[in-house]
Amino acid sequence: MSFSNEIPRLRDLMSATGRMKVRIQTATDAAKVIQSPFPKPWKPENPVFINFDLWHQLPQPQRDLVFLREVSWLTAVRIFKVDIYQGVAIAGLFGALFELAQGDAIGLVTAGGLTAFAGAQVWRSSRGTQAEITADESALRVAQRRGYNLPESAQYLIEGTEGIAELERRPLTFIELLRCQSLRAVVRATQVSDKLRTE
């Protein structure tokens, strides 16, 4: 498979938001099949690195769903979204700087701890289990607009996730296992719904 053909095809697969915010890059020597670093708010585009030597070993529907899922996660991360933890992190940072200027060690430790706690909550909200499952759900919605039905897109995403772990010669991570369990529930629920409709 030529990546010069695959990259335009993947770009067409993305939503309009994805095309604006995501840049596909080759990573021939990478150990991972597909990966993207945590988005940087000062960059208008964020990269998705694909090892095309491994990528072509997945069937196209699996590649489509895995790619849409990666893009969905990237475009969903909102570092500057205003919520309580971002507010606490900013307040803690300014407090730490103020205490540093005042030379107050206890105040500096307290403000630094507050900043670290709030920062960890911001990271968890973007990389935690719920954020990962939400990215799956978003990818399934985009896939349906690209001609896949819900149960088959969920099944392809399960198979793609398992296929990537196999290509990378590693077991599924805990979060990947939870994601696959959630996707299997989608497949079962859709099948039950379809069965009830036909009866």
The pLDDT profile of the chain, 199 residues, written as one tens digit per residue, is 566 889 999 999 998 989 999 999 999 889 999 999 887 767 778 999 999 999 999 999 999 999 999 999 998 865 444 444 445 445 555 454 554 556 555 654 554 555 555 555 555 555 578 889 999 999 999 999 999 999 999 999 999 999 999 999 999 999 999 999 999 999 998 877 777 777 6
Q: In this structure, are 88 and 160 located in the same domain?
A: no
Calculate ∠ Cα 174-175-177, nearest 5°: 65
The maximal CA–CA distance of the chain, rounded, in angstroms, is 75
The count of structural domains within the chain is 2
* 18 Cβ contact partners less than 8 Å away, ≥ 6 residues apart: 71, 72, 74, 75
pTM confidence score: 0.77
Q: In this structure, are 92 and 183 located in the same domain?
A: no
Task: Quote the domain boundaries for residue 88.
Answer: 84-126
Q: In this structure, are 66 and 103 located in the same domain?
A: no
Q: In this structure, are 10 and 33 located in the same domain?
A: yes
Q: In this structure, are 157 and 70 located in the same domain?
A: yes
Distance CA 127, CA 119 (A): 12
